[in-house]
Chains A and B, each alone.
Chain A
């Protein structure tokens, strides 16, 4: 067999210099940090405490807190999807305690809602690339926009609740939904009165209400949820019941081991129905699942790829459970009649707020919740209840938790390093450079068919249900091309609009290190500060290395703009940009 590997070896090899990697303990603690004035955490401890230690944390000793500048970057990214401004960095440098007020501000930022949408998309898994029903069915021309709008409906409800300090229970009790103009054009929806004129842009999301007489139950009565979680006559809405249980109670029936009783004849419908009620192996799940499923017959579609059947709610089908399962709607033993009842029952379940806490904690720490988190979760649950189930205080409590604010540590309970996913890469690069990667209307970082979402480590809602937690080859490639495109765009933007320049304020793209070393050096320092929160010395190794790179790029075509574009793209690909 012929292989090309041999010819590729030089490409991959990085010539060794005979130096083995140091042991964890042998590295100079100062090698990681730069001249960041904000190295003093708000609790007064040294930010570098422990950084030269063995890297392991004692059983009872929490790791040192993250330095305030890094915390500023993390919270700004998590809560509003962008890196902090120069003014914000300077404020925290001057007074590390200022970060607490800034975090409060991030939670009030208009971009906070987008972050809620992005974070919780990993749980709702509704942002599919396509649905059985197409935009063309409604004479709408823009298929990607339509699919994106459909997938966001329940997430926008959640975002609206969070942004407006509404009780979290509204997620299952609200008598409104959220819609943009696309959904309003497709479905029987009216925007609620009182929306301000400035919200009327086609892509803005506003409160709306279905006009087809469906019950009021927040996400439980949205088309999007049940387009995503379709059902068949044989499934009888069990998948939907499980989706509700997984998303809103953090209890996934499908995670339970299933033992099929060989004495039950699955071919005998009567025997199966009897087993579902009496067989221990079946009853353990189905006693709860079947009545829960029976709530959803109003969303049952005989023709699931017909917009005529799937657009409107069908009150006349609500009692189809009588024909299909003969099990009346109910919630863990408590009877009900409509999805409004189900919403009320969910809202009154102690597992409901507990699940909300677990989700917020897991999403912001980028890891699964474990039993070791019990105490912290109990604390957070208390805070959530004290805040009358408002999401902003809950999220604030999570970002205040030591597990979120930990400095470097090998203890995996602490989120010492996090990885930017595709949404976060897109939003921060747009903020820094003005570049948003769309192609023929498709947002390339939030779609898969033509886009880059799962290649960049995201979830597609169907095949890939969990985000990447470490870089992959395709993620690195996406980052590379995104960095190149954004850097080029950002340089052109700042060059053409110097008065509004975001990144390049120290140069006008005529200077070189030979003609104006001070300006070029200052520009490199500014990039490090805005991208990494690091104040690097004019004669430091970072500037030296960056200027060498700049010169190398400049030598290609003698274009300062191209050199700056290349340097900026390299900084965007730096691990300090990807990990936060």
Chain B
């Protein structure tokens, strides 16, 4: 028979996230935070990132032109002043990756490939890996405001806010008022008592576990409970329920980083769809202008919060679009795309990679970032390995043999 102490109070030796512990990660990038901006549906790189005006195989917009700031080459258009405006202000910290290979043309698979570098369903995504290294420093290591999350076996580091204010309502207890059946939440005092009791019980289960798996499961519960209590402590400080529109998502992302509760935040551009099988030019132009308007605002917020020098913003879509318009003025799915990475640790002001005459991605010398037909395809795995390096992680430990695009790193 367990003693009362074992049943209930053994947790005192173990309970609670030790947020004061030093970070597991160390070295350059160990403090770098990340915001992943996912653009679901498949964007058309030729509207902003891929200047293919000399490629007869590619339908470029007639009114568009090539813009450049140093070695950063992009596509300008009078209808997209925010795109040009963004690069004018942030070119020095921006790298455009062109010819990014996402070896599929199915949305869900491409999304997985873009975020994990593999189609293996159990592989964790980049933000989960990065966040998992600093689990003791952040209450919510990876906050998913909207968009995909592929946590693999790192689910414990991922927290979703929900899209209708669910997290806010869960934290406050107001969610119980949503019930169609009449019931009510306990008062604050009772809630505190109950939280303490349950926390002790979970700690006791950790303490008394005879098996490593059993202990790990209960430790996951304990850690999750600690995080939930941290979240409760932030009720009223963070507007958890406000992240429904894309600008609101970005605002919440900055708040989470600014408060030091998250290392990675995933948001999803949600204003319009990128899957433009029809009306490609009109819709992509609108989307990019809207996206970059929000990105300008995001950078302003990061700068105002003194976070710009600590935060990498990764802007990607799961696939590209065919170079030529189809019969309905749309473009279909294409396995080569582009991504934009903005932030510290980068040799910014540069467009890396490119497309060949078939609009396939060109190969690179990873060491320099220069085009090299004898080099490597720029796959999403290489992009991911490079992001892990930016985060101060040993990418080889997670993606052995993949290689890092050293040429874009300081």
Contacts and interface: CB of A to CB of B under 8 A. Distances in A.
A450 B158 CA distance: 19
B210 to A, nearest CB: 5
B198 A573 contact: yes
B318 to A, nearest CB: 11
A239 interface: yes
Given A485-B176, A541-B7, A16 B12 contact: yes
Contacts of B207: 21-22
Interface in A528-544: 537, 540-542, 544
Interface in B296-322: 305-307, 322
A471 B224 contact: yes
A29 B2 CA distance: 10
B19 interface: yes
A440 B178 CA distance: 8
B170 interface: yes
A435 interface: yes
A438 B181 contact: yes
Contacts of B74: none
A451 interface: yes
A128 to B, nearest CB: 12
Given A266-B360, A470-B155, A472-B155, A409 B233 contact: no
Contacts of A37: none
Contact of A17 (B12, B209, B229, B335): B12
Contacts of A576: 205
B333 A408 contact: no
A21 B15 CA distance: 11
A281 to B, nearest CB: 10
A60 interface: no
Interface in A208-242: 232, 234-235, 238-239, 242
Given A234-B333, A260-B335, A477 B228 contact: yes
B108 interface: yes
Contact of A259 (B103, B121, B190, B228): B103
B398 interface: no
Given A55-B210, A466-B121, A575-B201, A474 B159 contact: yes
A417 B186 contact: no
Given A12-B229, A232-B332, A471 B221 contact: yes
B147 interface: yes
A416 B210 CA distance: 12
A5 interface: yes
Contacts of A579: 217-218
B57 interface: yes
Interface stretch (A99-107, A157-165, A545-553): A545-553
A437 to B, nearest CB: 6
Interface in A269-300: none
B14 A5 contact: no
Given A254-B104, A484-B185, A573-B198, A477 B231 contact: yes
A549 B201 CA distance: 12
Given A30-B1, A255-B121, A257-B103, A437 B198 contact: no
A162 to B, nearest CB: 25
A265 B17 contact: no
Contacts of B17: 12
Contacts of B201: 570, 573-575
A267 interface: yes
Interface stretch (B84-92, B257-265, B287-295, B382-390): B257-265
Contact of A575 (B185, B191, B202): B202
B282 interface: no
A544 B20 contact: no
A409 B221 CA distance: 19
Interface in A62-93: none
Mostly, the A contact residues are: loop
A29 B210 contact: yes
A242 B107 CA distance: 13
B108 A462 contact: yes
Contacts of B376: none
Contacts of B190: 553, 556, 562, 566
A35 interface: yes
B179 A439 contact: yes
Contacts, number: 329
A410 B213 contact: yes
A541 B2 contact: yes
B160 A258 contact: no
A439 B261 contact: no
A296 to B, nearest CB: 15
Given A8-B139, A24-B212, A410-B211, A14 B203 contact: yes
A256 B261 CA distance: 38
B208 A27 contact: yes
B149 interface: yes
Interface string B106-119: 10110100000001
B166 A450 contact: yes
Given A5-B19, A470-B220, A258 B139 contact: no
Nearest to A271: B358
B198 A570 contact: yes
A454 interface: yes
A107 to B, nearest CB: 28
Interface in B142-173: 147-149, 151, 153, 155-156, 158-160, 162-164, 166-167, 170-171, 173
Contacts of A480: 170, 195, 198, 228
Contacts of B175: 452, 481
Contact of A267 (B57, B173, B202): B57
B328 to A, nearest CB: 9
A485 B179 contact: yes
B155 A476 contact: no
B15 to A, nearest CB: 3
Contact of B210 (A24, A35, A465, A574): A24
A247 interface: no
Interface string A347-363: 00000000000000000
A214 to B, nearest CB: 26
Contact of B360 (A262, A553, A578): A262
Contacts of B182: 489
B224 A472 contact: yes
A497 interface: no
A481 B187 CA distance: 12
Given A13-B16, A485-B185, A575-B205, A444 B178 contact: yes
Nearest to B8: A545
A368 interface: yes
A15 interface: yes
B175 to A, nearest CB: 5
A473 B224 contact: yes
A565 interface: yes
B212 A55 contact: yes
B307 to A, nearest CB: 7
B32 interface: no
A448 B144 CA distance: 14
A1 B13 contact: no
B279 interface: no
A474 B160 contact: yes
Contacts of A18: 13
Given A412-B213, A471-B221, 4 more contacts: A255-B119, A258-B103, A484-B194, A569-B194
20 contacts: A14-B199, A15-B12, A29-B210, A31-B6, A235-B106, A260-B360, A409-B213, A417-B217, A436-B181, A438-B179, A454-B160, A463-B148, A469-B153, A473-B224, A476-B224, A484-B176, A488-B185, A541-B8, A542-B7, A569-B194
Interface of A: 1-5, 8-9, 11-22, 24, 27, 29-32, 34-35, 51-52, 55, 232, 234-235, 238-239, 242, 254-260, 262, 265-267, 368, 408-410, 412, 416-417, 419, 435-441, 444, 448-452, 454-455, 457, 462-466, 468-478, 480-481, 484-486, 488-489, 492, 537, 540-542, 544-545, 549, 552-553, 556-557, 562, 565-566, 569-570, 573-576, 578-579
Question: Which 3 pairs between the two chains have the least Cβ-Cβ distance?
Answer: A14-B15, A541-B4, A14-B16
